[in-house]
Amino acid sequence: MVSLINVFASHDYDGSNNTIITHELMHTMSAKGKYGQGNMPEHPRDYAEPWRDPLYPQAKAEIMGGRIPVTAS
C-alpha cells in the first residue's frame, strides 16, 4: 500500500505530524478510521477514554478517531 501524507515542516508541529503519520500508517495495515458523521468520533466506540467521568473534555484521542472530543458536539 502507498500513503501520501502532508505534514508541516516546522518543529512546532512535531507532535501533530507524528500523530498524522501514525494514523495513516495504521491505514496501510488495514485499520479503519473511527469516526462517524461529520468526521467526529462517536461515543463510546471512537473515544480513547469512554469511561471518563466527567466525559468531557477528553484528554486523549483514539489514534484512528482523529480528534479529541472536548464537547458532545
pLDDT tens digits for range 8-61: 999 998 988 998 899 999 988 999 888 888 888 889 988 999 999 999 999 998
Residue 2 included in any domain = no
Nearest-5° angle of CA 1, CA 39, CA 12? 75
Residue 63 included in any domain = yes
Q: How many domains does the chain have?
A: 1
The helix or strand, by DSSP H or E, that contains position 26, with its residue range, turns out to be helix 14-28
Residue 71 included in any domain = yes
Read off the pTM. 0.74
Residue 38 belongs to what domain range? 8-73
Residue 3 included in any domain = no
Residue 18 included in any domain = yes
pLDDT band with cut points at 50, 70 and 90 for residue 1: low
